[in-house]
Structures are given as C-alpha cells and as structure tokens.
Chains A and B, each alone.
Chain A
Amino acid sequence: MSELKTTALSDVVSITYITKENAEFRKEGDFLSLRVDLPVGNGLDGEPTGGEKYYERIYLHRSFPYEHPYEYISVLDRDSAEIGIIADVAEFDEETAKMLRHELDRKYFAPVITKILSVKERYGYSYWDVITDDGRRLSFTVRDTFRSIIKVTQEHIFLTDNDSNRYEIKDTEALDRKSFKRIELYL
C-alpha cells in the first residue's frame, strides 16, 4: 500500500516574511518607507502579488502586543493591506531595528504605573490617581473597572480608561503594599 501524503497547512498558504534580505526600511520624512522584493504569486482573489515594490509610508502593527512587542510585526500599506510580517525586529541590522522599535514605541503608548495614590469607586466609575515611571502624577477615570483590566499574566496588567488611554502595571507584586491593596480587589 502506498503511503498517503497529506497536505500541510504550509503547502497551501505561507506567511510572507519581511527580512533583512528582501527589505530595506528607510526614514522618509518623519515615517518609514519600505523597498521590498517579495516572491511573485497570487493572492486569495487571484490578484498578482509580490515583486519589487516601494511604499513611501508603511504602518507597523503588533500581532501579539502584550506578549511579543517586537516580534510578529505586521507591515501594512496605507490601505491597511498587509505587505508582510517581520518575525523579529532584532533580526535586522542595529540601525533598522532601532528605527522599527522607535516606530512601534511611538505608536503604542501606555504610561507605566509605579505607584497608586488612590482609587475611588463611585457610582460605577473608578477615579484613579497614580504616579508613573517618569515621576508624573496622572489622574484618570475608568468605567466598568473589572472589564477595563487586561491581564497579560496574573501580575502584568493593562488598564484602559474612559478615553481609551492605556496604562501598564508591569508587576503588581512589585508595587508597594499600599498601592497593591488599592487594586487588589480588581485582580
């Protein structure tokens, strides 16, 4: 009996990776441009893809924003169509990696909370008064506190306020006792 060969997922669809070999990122104006040479093929609608292309402005988007901030980075064109994925920013040369990291850090903004001065719950909203890692004191309002907390792990959390601003607490266990007590209820 002849051995039956099954088709693997990777035989049918492959992820287009953007690597230091096929791509060149450059800073054009205040943003990144991309010159890329990708394998020629057909998209899902049968349209031709790949080849050598130049994008004057590209957008970066994290696939796993909480767990892998600099890996699996989707590179998009102005119409939000994906050009390809960067497996790991660190695979690029020092200068490019720095540019990419900078672009990502600029897009994802979440002040890091190091101390919680007070959390007052009132009529379904909670009012926060905190200190961030750069020593600033911030106050913000959270609606529906329980649902506004994203737990990356038991200790690492993100908080979204009324305006969709984000705040990060890297390690709730590392907070001082009083700060921890103030948020313990929500964890």
Chain B
Amino acid sequence: MSERAELTTRLCRINQSIKPDDVVVAFGFDLCPDENSPVDGFVAVTSTHVYVYEDDRLAADFDQDKISEYIFTNGVGCVFAECVYDGEHMLLCRATMEHRDLISSVIWQLNRRRERGTYSYAYENEIDVTCPKCGIRYPSGSHVCPHCTAKTGYFKRIWEIARPYKFFIFLSIGLYFISAIVQLLPAYLNKLLIDNYIKVDGAYELSQTSEFIIGFIGVIVSLLGVNILTRAIGVVRGLTLIEAGTRMMVALRGMVFDKIQRLSVSKISKRTAGELMNRVTDDTNQLQNFITNDIGSALEQILIFLAVSVILFAYDWRLAFLILLPAPIVMIANRLFHTYMRRVFHRQWVMNSRANTILHDIFSGIRVVKAYGSEHREMERYDKATRDECNAQITAETFFAKFSPLMSFLMGIGEFFLLYYSGAKILSHEMTLGDMQLFTTYVSIIYGPLRWLSNFPRRYERTMTSVVKIFDIIDEDVDVDDKADAVELDIKGNIEFTDVSFGYDSGNNVLHNINLTVSPGDFVGIVGRSGVGKSTLINLVMRLYDVDDGSIKIDGVDIRDISQSSLRSQIGVVLQETFLFSGTVYENIAYAKPSATRDEVLAAAKLAGAHSFIMKMPDAYNTRVGERGHTLSGGERQRIAIARALLHDPRILILDEATASLDTETEKQIQDALQTLSKNRTTLAIAHRLSTLRNATKLIVLDKGTVAEVGTHDELMRRRGIYYGLVMAQRQMSRMSS
C-alpha cells in the first residue's frame, strides 16, 4: 500500500467524518515542529481543510480558503512545509531529508491545484523509495539497492556481460584445471625417481638392465614433459586471458562510457570528472580482472587443495591430519593479519593522497603562492602532511615486518611435524625416502591455496565495490531521453515557452511560469542580474535539462518530441567559458562539422576574427592547443569557439556572455561578425554588458525567475523599469571609469 493510501486510512480512522474520497493528498513527517525530537506525524489535505496530526493527535487545522500559498523550504539537514494562512506564514511540518523530494513535489502540486485546479500524482513513481527487502533507501537517481541486489542479481548481470566471451572464459578455466593437476605430477615423479631408481636396494646391479635404464630415462623425460606442458599451458592461458580480457574490457568501458554520455548534464555534474574516469577505467579493469583471472585462479587453488588433501589422506590419514592441524589457525590468523594490514595501509594511502592533494594545489596555484609570498606557509603545510604520511607508513611497515615472518613460520609449521613423523617412519622402515619427498612437496603446496583463498574474500569485496559502482551508473535513470517516436525536425527558428517552470533541486525553482515567443530570425537579448536564471533559460532550449512544468516548443513541436541529435545539430553555442579539446586549432574549429572543407574552416575563422592571430603562430592552423598544447589567451579561445559555432551554421544561435572576456575593439569586430551571422537565424544572447545587445530585436528582462519586461531597447527605456535601472547603472559606471 502506498504511503498516501495508508495515511488516508489512518486519517479516516481518527476523524470519521472524513471520507477517503475527500483526501487530495497525505504525507508523513518525522520531526517536531519546534524542537529537535522525533514525532510520527502526517499532513492531510482535503478539498476544504489541511490537517496536521502529530502522534495521531490533531495539532493544526487550516481552512483551505484562507491559504494563499504553499511554500517548501530547505533547512540544513531538514525541510519545512509551510503555508501562508490569512496573510501569516504558518509551519505545516518539518521533516528529515529523506522526505525532501516527496514534500517538495506535494507542495508544488498543491500550488498548482490552487492556481489551476489540477493535481497530478505522477511524482509518486519518480520519488526515490526504500528497498522493499531491507528498508534502506535507494541511492538517489537509482532504483537498485546496493545492499540487497549484490549477490544473485549482480552475478546474473555480470554473466550477461561476460556471456559473449564464454568460450575464452571457459577455456581459461579449463586450463587452470589442467594446470592444477599438472602441478601435482612432478612431486609424484620425483618420488618414483627416488624410490625406484636412486634409493632402491641393489641399485647398481639393476642399473645394468635395459628395463631399468628405460624406466629411469622415462621418468626423467616425463619430468621434462610435465615441465614443457606447464609452460605451454601458461602460454595458452596467457593468450586466452589477453584475448578475453581485452575484448571484455573494450565492451565494458564502452558500456559505461556510452551510458555516461547519455545521462543528462544534471546527473553528470553530480559527479566529478575524476570519479567518472575511475568508473570507466579502474572499476571496469577490476571487474574484467576478476572475471578473467580471479575466478579461474580460485578454482585452480580449490582444486589443488582438494587433490592434495585427498592424496595425503589416502596415503596416511594421521600424517595428513597432522599437516592440516594448523590450517584453521593459519587461515584465521591470515585473515586477521590482512584485515589489520588493510586498515593500516589504507590509512597510509589516505595520508599519501592528502599530501599529494596539497602538492597538486600548490603547483597549480604556484603563481598565487608566490604572489602572496606564502611559500614558507605552504612548505610547512606540505611538511606536516608528509610527516603524517611517514608516520602512517612506519606503523604499517613495522607491523608488516614483525608479523609477516610470523605468518610464514605458521604456514611452514606443518613441515616440522612432517619431518619428525616421516623421519621416525623411515627409520622404522614404514616409509620410503620418496614418500617423504612427496609429502614435503605437497605440504609446501597445500598452504599456498589456503593463503590465497583466505585473501579471496577481499578481492571479491573489492570487485563487488567496483561492480556496484559500475551498475550504479548503468542503472541510473536517463532523465532526458529521446522518445521512441522522436522526430527529426528541420528547424526554422520559432521558439515558444508556455508556463515553463524549472529548478535544479527539488523545491528551489529557478524559473517559474515563463511565457515567451521568439520568431524566426529574431535577435533576442536576455538581461537580468546574475543568478536570475538567464543561463538556465538557454540550457532548457538546448534541452540539457527537461522542464519541470509547462513546455518549450520549436516550430510548434515540443522539444521533448524532437530527437536530441536533430535538435542540437541545429543549435550553435558560444559560452563564456570555452573548452578547447586536445588537438590542433583546425580540429577544434572543425569539431562542429567534421565534414567541413578547408575553405569553410578558414572562412569561419576569418569571420570570427581568429584567422589573423592563428596566422601569427608558427604552426598556424596546425598549432596544438588544449591540455598540453599552446596556451591561448581568453579572447583567442573565445574567437576559436565563435568560429566553431559559425562553421556549424546553426538555425538557432546561442551566445552566453560570448564576448564578455574580450576587449572593446575585438568585441566590436566579433559583434559585427555575429551581426552578419545572425541574419535570418534566431539568436538568443545573454550579455552583462548591455551595449552588446543594442542590435537586439527584442529584449527579455528576467527578474526573480520570471519574465519581468519584454520589448525593444527604446520601449524598455521609456518604461523606466528594471532594464532602465540596469542601463543607467552601467552608464554611470562607464562614466566613472572613463
């Protein structure tokens, strides 16, 4: 039963005059309104009232008619639902953060209901819920419980990924099996050699017979054969692993990378670039290694252990028992040892990365450090960090140095039992020297798998951590996705916003109820104070995010019905912050249109005013830029970005502070270029410097997330509103600075 249905039943039981059909919505909360103690409460909205119950007692009752607005407020570690009742702000409830998404959606819908009379429950399916199995909430944006799905679910899915390479995987597992058996053979052959040929009674006489010689050489040849076989298996297995591993790695990376590319900007920007890189490279590597290496190795080790145990027990159960007696102790000690080692080495790792971060900071900001003369302070900071790291390392290494030999001793302790026992048996002629040799070899073999297997849980754990992180991304819901019947549209350039509302977080609307129309060929300037939602508005046109309410139509088609590639291929963007990829200047301009001819690229560069400075560089269009290339100034990068947009020849051109970092003269040049370019295409331009927008056919002034004024420069100046205020303030400023 949903929370809403449950609370409705509860309400009707407490207040029997209310019928379930009267209830519009009900939602729970868990914090006392006035103090930081828990409460089991709920808010129920009926067609006429809003009731607040705390521990099933009516705490407040509001008349719907007197409520003029519902408000959702984010606290820190808690959220508030409020209403304006009879002109006064009243608190409906207070709740911990897990209620945030639900409460903010309810408040949103309640306001909508007040304005338009409709209430949609669609959010109930989108709100993150708790895992029905363990009750732990899903990580945001995902509907997979990392706690529960782990074992069966993930294995099934890993198998799905590995299935295309099953031939190679089974081949390598098979080879591990064979190698396990082959590894046990030399010990037996050695025993034969000693008992039957070297330490045999009357060896000299026997050695004269041809049978003896053939047998003797046969054993030696067999030993040689086993050796060659072991190497051959190693080679084939290595090749198989490379084949399976690399193929799977490519597929896995492709899968994760493809998914990341499909995620919307809002989902991607929740993670850092470094984190995403780890997902694509390290985590996939870990998983691939586990499938191709660890599973096979685990089977090999188990097989060796079982085979040796069976041989030992079959030969002499008392001896086998003696040898295996310390095994459980060794395994437990090994596990404890490694758990502790992990902690101390992890600590060392944290200290190391902290020191590295400081170093990275100092080197990246070396100009600031030097300019403020704070070298000494930074030196001390780094010094302290390295000293901490050094101490952590001493702790870790000291422990390792002390306990590692102890562990080796424990592992080898079985051999002493064996020596005593088998020595006594040889003296009493119950055992041969060959047997002793066989046992000694097997004893040294049997602890290998035990040690390996006692560390296996750790490898498994680490792999599962990577697996969970990989699937975390793969399972993330694609929020901005193409519809199955998305159309390819030939854009003419009409843009229409109808009642558009949008917020990056739940509850915090950046834009509300935006209505505006842009005709094809319009040059629209978007104006307003910083943080008012100008960039958000154009992000919505590019559909980097989907609107929360209302719709944006291009040429009468909702942009959610247009395929994203079709939409974006016809929009050109120049942002304030320009990103140049590693590559040549030419490649960076041609990025927008890889099929462009050299003439086109040159023309675009010329139009953007980039050609002249490009030609001043020795390598001209072949100059390498980006991460490790030639450093360009802000203005130069900007002109390359503009050339890129010009080459794209878009139907809709978006300029977000495109010329803000340029000097006045260059800006004028580019303005003229843009002026030429914007002819006959819809242009949306954001500019802080209002003079940049003097050619705009229409100006839109945003204030507090809504459209405050619309008109031409002259109209808005006459109106003497916000725009007028901004223009006057800028004029005053430029007079002051001139």
**Residue B91 at the chain A interface, CB threshold 8 Å:** yes
A68 contact set on B, CB distance < 8 A = none
Closest chain B residue, CB of each to CB of A43 = B729
Among the stretches A9-17, A90-98, A160-168, the one at the interface with B is A160-168
Cβ-defined partner of B36 (8 Å) among A79, A111, A139, A164 = A111
**Residue A102 at the chain B interface, CB threshold 8 Å:** yes
A164 contact set on B, CB distance < 8 A = 77, 97, 100
Interface residues of A in 96-130 (CB under 8 A from B): 102, 105-111, 122-125, 127
Instruction: Tell me whether B729 and A162 are in contact (CB under 8 A).
Output: no
Instruction: Tell me whether B33 and A30 are in contact (CB under 8 A).
Output: yes
Cβ-defined partner of A162 (8 Å) among B140, B343, B468, B704 = B140
Closest chain B residue, CB of each to CB of A29 = B88
Question: In the complex the two chains form, what is the Cα distance from A98 to B96 in whole Å?
Answer: 23
Question: In the complex the two chains form, what is the Cα distance from A69 to B33 in whole Å?
Answer: 20
B96 contact set on A, CB distance < 8 A = 109, 163, 165
Cβ-defined partner of B78 (8 Å) among A45, A107, A123 = A107
Question: In the complex the two chains form, what is the Cα distance from A29 to B31 in whole Å?
Answer: 19
Instruction: Tell me whether A46 and B91 are in contact (CB under 8 A).
Output: no
Chain A nearest CB: distance from B727 CB in Å?
A: 11
Interface residues of B in 18-43 (CB under 8 A from A): 31, 33-34, 36-38
Closest chain A residue, CB of each to CB of B37 = A134
Instruction: Tell me whether B469 and A124 are in contact (CB under 8 A).
Output: yes
Q: How large is the interface on B (under 10, 10 to 19, 20 to 34, 35 or more residues)?
A: 35 or more
Cβ-defined partner of A30 (8 Å) among B89, B100, B343, B461 = B89
Interface residues of A in 136-159 (CB under 8 A from B): 136, 139, 141, 143, 146
Question: In the complex the two chains form, what is the Cα distance from A144 to B88 in whole Å?
Answer: 42
Question: In the complex the two chains form, what is the Cα distance from A136 to B464 in whole Å?
Answer: 32
CB-CB contacts of B333-348 with A at 8 A, as 1s and 0s?
0000000000100110
Q: How many contacts A-B (CB < 8 Å)?
A: 107
**Residue A57 at the chain B interface, CB threshold 8 Å:** yes
Chain A nearest CB: distance from B574 CB in Å?
A: 26
Closest chain B residue, CB of each to CB of A125 = B146
Instruction: Tell me whether B732 and A46 are in contact (CB under 8 A).
Output: yes
Cβ-defined partner of A45 (8 Å) among B33, B464, B465, B529 = B529
Instruction: Tell me whether B91 and A30 are in contact (CB under 8 A).
Output: yes
Interface residues of B in 616-660 (CB under 8 A from A): none
A108 contact set on B, CB distance < 8 A = 75-77
**Residue A88 at the chain B interface, CB threshold 8 Å:** no
Instruction: Tell me whether B529 and A106 are in contact (CB under 8 A).
Output: no
B89 contact set on A, CB distance < 8 A = 28-31, 56-57
**Residue B329 at the chain A interface, CB threshold 8 Å:** no
Closest chain B residue, CB of each to CB of A165 = B97
Instruction: Tell me whether A125 and B97 are in contact (CB under 8 A).
Output: no
Closest chain A residue, CB of each to CB of B31 = A109
Instruction: Tell me whether B726 and A45 are in contact (CB under 8 A).
Output: yes
Chain A nearest CB: distance from B357 CB in Å?
A: 12
Knowing A29-B90, A123-B464 are in contact, say whether A109-B36 is a contact too (CB < 8 A): yes
Instruction: Tell me whether B139 and A162 are in contact (CB under 8 A).
Output: yes
A47 contact set on B, CB distance < 8 A = 725, 729
Closest chain B residue, CB of each to CB of A167 = B77
**Residue A51 at the chain B interface, CB threshold 8 Å:** no
**Residue B350 at the chain A interface, CB threshold 8 Å:** yes
Instruction: Tell me whether B77 and A165 are in contact (CB under 8 A).
Output: yes
Closest chain A residue, CB of each to CB of B726 = A45
Instruction: Tell me whether B467 and A123 are in contact (CB under 8 A).
Output: yes
Interface residues of A in 161-186 (CB under 8 A from B): 161-166, 185
Instruction: Tell me whether A146 and B350 are in contact (CB under 8 A).
Output: yes
**Residue B98 at the chain A interface, CB threshold 8 Å:** yes
Chain A nearest CB: distance from B13 CB in Å?
A: 27
Knowing A124-B469, A127-B136 are in contact, say whether A109-B347 is a contact too (CB < 8 A): no
**Residue B85 at the chain A interface, CB threshold 8 Å:** yes
**Residue A39 at the chain B interface, CB threshold 8 Å:** no
B467 contact set on A, CB distance < 8 A = 123
Chain B nearest CB: distance from A115 CB in Å?
A: 17
Knowing A106-B75, A122-B147 are in contact, say whether A163-B729 is a contact too (CB < 8 A): no
Question: In the complex the two chains form, what is the Cα distance from A130 to B732 in whole Å?
Answer: 60
Chain A nearest CB: distance from B31 CB in Å?
A: 7
A107 contact set on B, CB distance < 8 A = 75-76, 78
**Residue B150 at the chain A interface, CB threshold 8 Å:** yes
A127 contact set on B, CB distance < 8 A = 136, 147
A28 contact set on B, CB distance < 8 A = 88-89
Chain B nearest CB: distance from A21 CB in Å?
A: 26
Question: In the complex the two chains form, what is the Cα distance from A168 to B87 in whole Å?
Answer: 37
CB-CB contacts of A38-53 with B at 8 A, as 1s and 0s?
0000000111000000
Chain A nearest CB: distance from B734 CB in Å?
A: 12
Chain B nearest CB: distance from A68 CB in Å?
A: 15
Chain A nearest CB: distance from B530 CB in Å?
A: 10
**Residue B311 at the chain A interface, CB threshold 8 Å:** no
Chain A nearest CB: distance from B39 CB in Å?
A: 12
Chain B nearest CB: distance from A103 CB in Å?
A: 10
Instruction: Tell me whether A166 and B725 are in contact (CB under 8 A).
Output: no
B478 contact set on A, CB distance < 8 A = none
**Residue B698 at the chain A interface, CB threshold 8 Å:** no
A124 contact set on B, CB distance < 8 A = 146, 465, 468-469
Residues of B within 8 A of A (CB): 31, 33-34, 36-38, 73, 75-78, 82, 85, 87-91, 94, 96-98, 100, 136-137, 139-140, 146-147, 150, 343, 346-347, 350, 461, 464-465, 467-469, 529, 704, 725-726, 728-729, 732
Instruction: List 26 A-B residue pairs with CB atoms under 8 Å apart, sorted by A's residue number.
Output: A28-B89, A29-B89, A30-B90, A31-B82, A65-B76, A106-B33, A106-B34, A106-B75, A106-B94, A107-B78, A108-B77, A109-B75, A109-B78, A123-B150, A123-B467, A125-B468, A141-B137, A146-B350, A163-B98, A163-B137, A164-B77, A164-B100, A165-B77, A165-B97, A165-B98, A185-B346
